């Protein structure tokens, strides 16, 4: 497991991964690309904007972000809650969609290695069992990339269906 500096962390505190998301604190402008239809052989992407505000919680063992997602059909809000488990060195990530705020998605779990954050879970999409993967990459002080992909074959092949490029707000 890398130290916090591998993911752009602050360098303060234990080198167990708890600061791996510190790079993300602050305000971001987001460029989204999302497949119009997932797991359908579709190659058409919608492109739209958004914003994301991120802050620490739980004394540094977690963070929360507040998102405005400007879908072509209309904007909505969403939030992400991330918590770090020092015993396992893993992060858990929950997504809350403002269009259905009574439901919290299945948690993603994972960590950063060689400056890439990989997070996985088993879920159901349109009645089909899928493995979901989040990748965090291209992390600098001013930018980062998040990608979501689905696999229907246990991770042998992946369909990337959503990409978010973050640029730090001036």
> Is residue 13's pLDDT more than 90?
no
Q: Where are the domains of the chain?
A: 4-168
**Residue % of the chain over a pLDDT of 90:** 89
> Is residue 169's pLDDT more than 50?
yes
May I ask the CATH architecture of the domain 4-168? Beta Barrel (2.40)
Report the C-alpha gap between 4 and 7 in whole angstroms: 6
Report the C-alpha gap between 5 and 64 in whole angstroms: 20
Report the C-alpha gap between 11 and 2 in whole angstroms: 12
Instruction: Give 26-62 as a DSSP string.
Output: EEEEEEEEEESSTTS----EEEEEEEEEEEEEGGGTE
Burial zone of 95 (CB within 10 Å; 0-12 exposed, 13-18 middle, 19+ buried): middle
CA–CA distances in Å: residue 162 to residues 22, 44, 56, 133, 148:
23, 12, 25, 11, 5
> Is residue 167's pLDDT more than 70?
yes
Position 160 confidence tier, pLDDT thresholds 50, 70, 90 = very high
| Residue pLDDT, tens place only, 91-115 | 999 999 999 999 998 999 999 999 9
> Is residue 9's pLDDT more than 80?
no
> Is residue 3's pLDDT more than 80?
no
HEC letters along 65-84: EEEEEEECCEEEEEEEEEEE
Q: Which of 119, 113, 118, 166 is nearest to 140 (CA)?
A: 166
Enter the pTM of the model. Answer: 0.90
| Residue pLDDT, tens place only, 33-89 | 999 999 999 999 999 999 999 999 999 999 999 999 999 999 999 999 999 999 999
């Amino acid at each position: 497991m890398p130290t916090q500096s591998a993911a752009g962390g602050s360098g303060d505190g234990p080198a167990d991964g708890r600061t791996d998301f510190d790079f993300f604190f602050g305000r971001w402008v987001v460029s989204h690309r999302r497949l119009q239809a997932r797991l359908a052989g579709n190659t058409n992407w919608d492109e739209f904007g958004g914003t994301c505000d991120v802050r620490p919680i739980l004394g540094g063992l977690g963070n929360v972000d507040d998102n405005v997602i400007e879908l072509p059909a209309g904007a909505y809000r969403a939030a992400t809650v991330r918590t770090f488990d020092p015993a396992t060195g893993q992060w858990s990530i929950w997504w809350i969609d403002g269009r259905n705020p009574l439901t919290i998605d299945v948690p993603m779990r994972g960590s950063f290695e060689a400056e890439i954050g990989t997070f996985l879970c088993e879920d159901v999409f349109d009645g089909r069992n899928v493995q979901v993967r989040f990748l965090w990459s291209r992390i600098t002080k001013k930018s980062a990339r998040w990608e979501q992909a689905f696999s229907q074959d246990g991770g042998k092949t992946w369909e990337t269906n959503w990409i978010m490029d973050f640029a730090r707000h001036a």
